[in-house]
């Protein structure tokens, strides 16, 4: 409930309103006044990205009018005026179109209403209050591997359902990727008012894209608020999980912080280990011969002072893109070795603080925060999806996969050109030759190109021949002497669940089944492995649409539905049917082949060693939401509980 005593004075309120997201403010105004007639043609937003990073589109008169009305309504509300009856579902539907600035297709309505959840109810919180379910919950036990974003979420939902669980975490604290990646400049590259659990908003995020310590703090606070610590065993690494068919139990072998081996058992196993968890060092000759310190971006060594050093950075992916601009000013010389340049999307607010007044609006003004998140969600949901989809029969240049993709490419290339009009040599290196969407696009506020333009920075694209004790030798035979080498070379993303050994029915090893080509049904289940559920599993990564938090919320909702299905049917195990799993994967592969990241000329961590796209969800986000509302019992073989003889 809003604290109406925490008021702003007149000047501060004006300042807050000056920074407000006006379409979200308009929605809030309708909630505060009950006046849906405010939805007039001139208040329909035309989103245009302005030079200062704000979205314009309203005339100055309309802006002033919305702010004046909002000021009056907010003042009355803070003085105690009750809220009028809330808008009808029909009006809310119109409001959705309004804030989106488009007529949202009907297929999105249920999905977006769920995301908006104006009633404040956490729709995905499991309801196991029925006596039979309560009794079933008391008999269940789940082992969760990983206390990162999705493992914590699983813990929250299991706790809400009253199901006993243990989370096994190899690190010394919760937070997963936000615990491990502590390189300089590490921050979320999704707006964090959306990159947060739908039921755990944080109106105090200091920046629109907050830094790693802020994200880590968010996940730690969620861990504490939901009293998850008592369920987490830290510094406990899962080595192996074997399904004991006779007892229908997963037997999990762990190594503990003092090096002992221990066994834990539960009927259900959920893996929540992420896709970007195991650092990948490049396969470059002589790597081990380098005499100075060298480390991976995800194992940053803050004890190595880079000040005044000659530093070599290998890789120009999302991690290097963030730490290169941070370290460039302090090193003597920086050689950045690029194999393929990243595509960049302009994001002028990338390093901006959230103004204090906006935090106040988010915290106090009815529904403002919800509509702001909704707007982010819509803009980022399937906004760019069509632009990364291939046109059937496209016979344009191979640097695009279709008309829309080519148009976007032209715009983004222009944005890069504008950053270095005087440096054709640099532009030739940083404008990608592959289609936009082929790899992860990075949020660009100019600091990357500015760093590459520095006098002490060289962007080298010759190709690496080998590493020697003294530095990096490129294919032209030149030695680039270095005191420190930093590997921004990514992760063993497509080696899902590796290095854990997971053994299912018949003693079959999951890695052997996959043979380097991991597949699952909806990213979560795979035949032969009953009661095993994966989070952020095969084909659940998203490239341009949405956030992984959203994906995890969908997956965990589905897994909770699966546990309910077990409980309601009195089943002991559930296992996805092979034909369902296989047919699903055929569809996924066909769709991925039509996406920019599936195009033959593109290499990235989205593809595994066989060339198949094993990481990405190729469909609109709404399709995953629909597919994961609840498991279809027809998709599974459900096995009845075996009565143990008295």
Binding positions for ligand NAP, rule: CB under 6 A: 187-189, 276, 282, 284, 297, 314-320, 322, 337, 339-340, 440, 464, 488-490, 603, 605
Kindly state the smallest distance separating residue 322's Cβ from ligand NAP, in Å: 6
Kindly state the smallest distance separating residue 275's Cβ from ligand NAP, in Å: 8
Residue 601 structure tokens: 């000329």
Kindly state the smallest distance separating residue 492's Cβ from ligand NAP, in Å: 10
Contact present, 432 and 343 (Cβ < 8 Å): yes
Kindly state the smallest distance separating residue 614's Cβ from ligand NAP, in Å: 14
* Residue placing its CB nearer to ligand NAP in the complex, 361 or 449: 449
How far is 21 from 31, CA to CA, in rounded Å? 16
* Residue placing its CB nearer to ligand NAP in the complex, 314 or 362: 314
* Nearest CA among 496, 332, 358, 346 for reference residue 418: 346
* Residue placing its CB nearer to ligand NAP in the complex, 43 or 280: 280
* Residue placing its CB nearer to ligand NAP in the complex, 189 or 575: 189
How far is 314 from 281, CA to CA, in rounded Å? 10
* Residue placing its CB nearer to ligand NAP in the complex, 151 or 191: 191
Q: Which residue has the CB atom at the shortest distance from ligand NAP?
A: 317
Determine phi and psi for 516, rounding to 5 degrees: 80, 5
Helices (H) then strands (E): counts for the chain: 19, 23
Give the count of beta carbons closer than 10 Å to the beta carbon of residue 579: 10
Kindly state the smallest distance separating residue 620's Cβ from ligand NAP, in Å: 19
* Residue placing its CB nearer to ligand NAP in the complex, 164 or 465: 465
Kindly state the smallest distance separating residue 153's Cβ from ligand NAP, in Å: 18
Kindly state the smallest distance separating residue 181's Cβ from ligand NAP, in Å: 7
* Residue placing its CB nearer to ligand NAP in the complex, 54 or 339: 339
Residue 492, helix vs strand vs coil: coil
For the chain, the helix, strand and coil percentages under 3-state DSSP, each to the nearest 5: 40, 15, 45
* Nearest CA among 125, 131, 157 for reference residue 268: 157
Residue 195, helix vs strand vs coil: coil
- Helix 368-381 with 22-33: angle, nearest 10 deg: 140
Residue by residue, DSSP assigns 379-400 as HHHSTTGGGGBPPTT--S-TT-
Kindly state the smallest distance separating residue 320's Cβ from ligand NAP, in Å: 6
Give CA separation, 43 vs 84, 375, 380, 634, in Å: 22, 15, 22, 48
* Residue placing its CB nearer to ligand NAP in the complex, 107 or 603: 603
* Residue placing its CB nearer to ligand NAP in the complex, 314 or 535: 314
Kindly state the smallest distance separating residue 284's Cβ from ligand NAP, in Å: 5
Element of type H or E holding 472: strand 471-474
* Residue placing its CB nearer to ligand NAP in the complex, 195 or 250: 195
Kindly state the smallest distance separating residue 302's Cβ from ligand NAP, in Å: 17
Kindly state the smallest distance separating residue 605's Cβ from ligand NAP, in Å: 4
Residue 221 structure tokens: 């606070």
* Residue placing its CB nearer to ligand NAP in the complex, 494 or 531: 494
* Residue placing its CB nearer to ligand NAP in the complex, 28 or 608: 608
CA triple 283-287-291, angle to 5 deg: 170
How far is 138 from 142, CA to CA, in rounded Å? 11
Contact present, 548 and 149 (Cβ < 8 Å): yes
Contact present, 30 and 371 (Cβ < 8 Å): no
Kindly state the smallest distance separating residue 279's Cβ from ligand NAP, in Å: 8
* Residue placing its CB nearer to ligand NAP in the complex, 284 or 376: 284
* Nearest CA among 214, 221, 260, 208 for reference residue 239: 260
* Residue placing its CB nearer to ligand NAP in the complex, 23 or 146: 146
- Helix 356-364 with 10-19: angle, nearest 10 deg: 90
Residue 636 structure tokens: 């599974």
Kindly state the smallest distance separating residue 603's Cβ from ligand NAP, in Å: 6
Q: Which residues in 267-401 belong to E strands, given as ranges?
A: 268-271, 294-296, 310-314, 333-337, 344-346
* Nearest CA among 205, 200, 203, 201 for reference residue 226: 200
Chain-centroid distance, C-alpha 359: 23
Kindly state the smallest distance separating residue 514's Cβ from ligand NAP, in Å: 20
Give every CB contact of residue 429 below 8 A, 6+ residues apart in sequence: 338, 341, 459, 461
């Amino acid at each position: 409930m809003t604290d109406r005593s925490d008021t702003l004075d007149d000047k501060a309120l004006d300042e807050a309103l000056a920074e407000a997201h006006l379409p979200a403010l308009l929605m809030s105004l309708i909630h505060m006044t009950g006046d849906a007639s405010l939805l007039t043609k001139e208040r329909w937003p035309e989103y245009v990205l302005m030079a200062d990073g704000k979205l314009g589109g309203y005339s100055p008169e309309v802006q002033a009018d919305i702010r004046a009305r909002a000021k009056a309504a907010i003042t009355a509300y803070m003085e105690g005026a009750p809220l009028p009856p809330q808008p009808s579902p029909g009006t809310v539907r119109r409001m959705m179109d309004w804030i989106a600035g488009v007529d949202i297709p009907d297929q999105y309505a249920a999905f977006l209403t769920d995301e908006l959840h104006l009633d404040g109810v956490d729709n995905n919180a499991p309801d196991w209050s029925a006596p039979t379910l309560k009794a079933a919950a008391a008999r269940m036990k789940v082992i969760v591997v990983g206390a990162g974003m999705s493992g914590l979420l699983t813990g929250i939902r299991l706790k809400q359902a009253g199901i006993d669980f243990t989370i096994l975490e190899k690190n010394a604290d919760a937070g997963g990727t936000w615990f491990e990646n502590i390189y300089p400049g590490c921050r979320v590259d999704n707006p964090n008012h959306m990159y947060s659990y739908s039921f755990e908003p944080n109106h105090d995020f200091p920046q629109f894209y907050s830094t790693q310590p802020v994200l880590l703090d968010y996940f730690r606070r969620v861990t504490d608020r939901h009293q998850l610590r008592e369920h987490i065993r830290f510094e406990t690494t899962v080595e192996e999980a074997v399904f004991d068919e006779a007892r229908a139990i997963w037997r999990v072998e762990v190594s503990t912080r003092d090096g002992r081996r221990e066994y834990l058992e539960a009927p259900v196993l959920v893996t929540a280990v992420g896709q970007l968890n195991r650092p990948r060092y490049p396969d470059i000759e002589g790597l081990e011969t380098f005499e100075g310190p060298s480390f991976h971006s995800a194992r940053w060594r803050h004890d190595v002072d880079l000040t005044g050093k000659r530093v070599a950075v290998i890789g120009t992916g999302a991690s290097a893109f963030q730490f290169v601009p941070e370290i460039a000013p302090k090193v003597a010389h920086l050689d950045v070795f690029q194999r393929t340049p990243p595509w960049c999307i302009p994001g002028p607010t990338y390093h901006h603080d959230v103004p204090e007044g906006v935090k106040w609006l988010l915290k106090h003004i009815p529904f403002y925060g919800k509509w702001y998140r909704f707007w982010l969600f819509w803009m980022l949901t399937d906004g760019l999806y069509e632009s990364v989809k291939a046109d059937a029969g496209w016979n344009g240049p191979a640097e695009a996969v279709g008309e829309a993709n080519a148009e976007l490419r032209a715009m983004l290339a222009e944005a890069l050109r504008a950053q270095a009009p005087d440096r054709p040599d640099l532009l030739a290196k940083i404008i990608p030759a592959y289609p936009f969407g082929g790899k992860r696009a990075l949020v660009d506020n100019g600091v990357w190109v500015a760093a590459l333009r520095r006098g002490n920075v060289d962007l080298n694209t010759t190709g690496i021949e080998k590493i020697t004790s003294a530095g990096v030798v490129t294919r032209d035979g030149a030695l680039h002497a270095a005191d420190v080498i930093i590997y921004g070379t990514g992760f063993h993303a497509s080696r899902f669940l590796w290095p854990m050994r997971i053994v299912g029915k018949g003693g079959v090893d999951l890695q052997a089944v996959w043979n380097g080509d991991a597949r699952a049904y909806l990213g979560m289940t795979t035949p032969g492995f009953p009661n095993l559920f994966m989070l952020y599993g095969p084909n659940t990564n998203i490239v341009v649409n949405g956030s992984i938090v959203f994906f995890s919320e969908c997956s965990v909702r589905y897994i909770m539905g699966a546990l309910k299905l077990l409980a309601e049917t009195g089943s002991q195990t559930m296992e996805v049917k092979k034909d369902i799993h296989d047919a699903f994967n055929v569809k996924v592969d066909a769709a991925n082949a039509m996406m920019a990241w599936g195009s033959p000329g593109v290499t990235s961590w989205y593809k595994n060693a066989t060339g198949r796209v094993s990481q990405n969800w190729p469909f609109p986000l709404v399709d995953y939401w629909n597919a994961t509302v609840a498991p279809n019992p027809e998709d599974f073989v459900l096995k009845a509980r075996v009565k143990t003889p008295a």
